[in-house]
Amino acid sequence: MVNKPFPPQAFSGAHRGTRSMLAGVMGVMVLVAFAPDAMASGGETLVKTRCVGCHRITGQPMARSKKKAPDLIWAGSKYQRPWLVAWLQDPKEKLYPVGYDFNFTRKGPHLSITAIEAQQVADFLGTLKDARVKEGEVKPGTPEELARGEALYRDHGCQNCHWTPANNKRGYKGGTSSTSLVNAGNRLQPDWVYRFNLNPDDFVPESGAYIPKPSLPEGDIFAITAYMMTFGKGK
């Protein structure tokens, strides 16, 4: 958020005014000067009052089975802001097909917030960066890398647990036990996905059983990541 300089003409004449006018102008100055901070802390207050009952925003990685909701600890590195802002207002898109607690019938709709609140929340969550994620590392894949990524993704059975885009009537295929990746290219930041794929247990213990030990070469992880970033992009 940019703190726009106050236009100088706005001050002119203030010293000529009455005391109350001066007070009024000072009041406006204070409001304008603090507006950006107020936005960020508005988001922080919102998250700390309405979200942390289910979501963690600090702490060590923890398995899904021990949590009520996905961690937002590294939200600033994980989500693409436009997706986040839109989803928080209208959280229809299914992210965990069987419910995060694996109990679909118990799962009610996610709470939704207003457009202004969603911007504020995104401002605050955007500050929750993960130092382990290097920014600007993942570039769009070449056609060869994307083809290799597709083969690796299939051969490692990623679709067995993750909904994955497909050319069928539903538009996707795959198992339901974990996160839907149908819209991953619009939802997730590529650098976060790359770092996640390098060692999933660094983010969600018990999620990395599919990664061979030792892990795949970084080039392969890059190819898988680049391929995943095409999901939801209409390819």
Please tell me whether residue 133 binds ligand HEC under the rule CB under 6 A. Answer: no
Structure tokens at 33: 């000067």
Q: How far is CA 199 from CA 38, 111, 132, 150, 206, in A?
A: 37, 31, 11, 19, 11
- With a CB cutoff of 8 Å and minimum separation 6, the contacts of 93 are 87, 180, 183
When the beta carbons of 21 and 52 are compared against ligand HEC, the nearer one is: 52
Please tell me whether residue 156 binds ligand HEC under the rule CB under 6 A. Answer: yes
Q: In angstroms, rounded to a whole number, what is the distance separating the alpha carbons of residues 96 and 28?
A: 46
Contact region for ligand HEC (CB under 6 A) — 1-9, 18-26, 31-39, 151-159?
A: 151-159
3, 45, 142, 160: which one binds ligand HEC (CB under 6 A): 160
CB neighbours of residue 200 within 10 Å = 18
Please tell me whether residue 196 binds ligand HEC under the rule CB under 6 A. Answer: yes
Rounded to the nearest whole angstrom, what is the least distance from the CB of residue 225 to ligand HEC in the complex?
8
Please tell me whether residue 110 binds ligand HEC under the rule CB under 6 A. Answer: yes
Burial of 92 (0-12, 13-18, 19+ CB in 10 A): exposed
Rounded to the nearest whole angstrom, what is the least distance from the CB of residue 224 to ligand HEC in the complex?
5
Q: In angstroms, rounded to a whole number, what is the distance separating the alpha carbons of residues 133 and 30?
A: 37
| Cα–Cα–Cα angle for 171, 139, 61, rounded to 5 degrees | 75
69, 98, 151, 198: which one binds ligand HEC (CB under 6 A): 69
Rounded to the nearest whole angstrom, what is the least distance from the CB of residue 15 to ligand HEC in the complex?
44
77, 119, 164, 179: which one binds ligand HEC (CB under 6 A): 179
Q: How far is CA 58 from CA 193, 201, 216, in A?
A: 20, 17, 29
14, 95, 98, 151: which one binds ligand HEC (CB under 6 A): 95
When the beta carbons of 25 and 216 are compared against ligand HEC, the nearer one is: 216
When the beta carbons of 29 and 69 are compared against ligand HEC, the nearer one is: 69
Q: Which of 193, 202, 182, 184 is nearest to 221 (CA)?
A: 193
Structure tokens at 155: 């051969």
Site residues for ligand HEC per CB under 6 A: 46-47, 50-51, 53-55, 64, 68-70, 84, 88, 95-96, 99-100, 107, 110-111, 113, 121, 153, 156-158, 160-162, 177-179, 188, 193, 196-197, 200, 204, 207, 209-210, 224
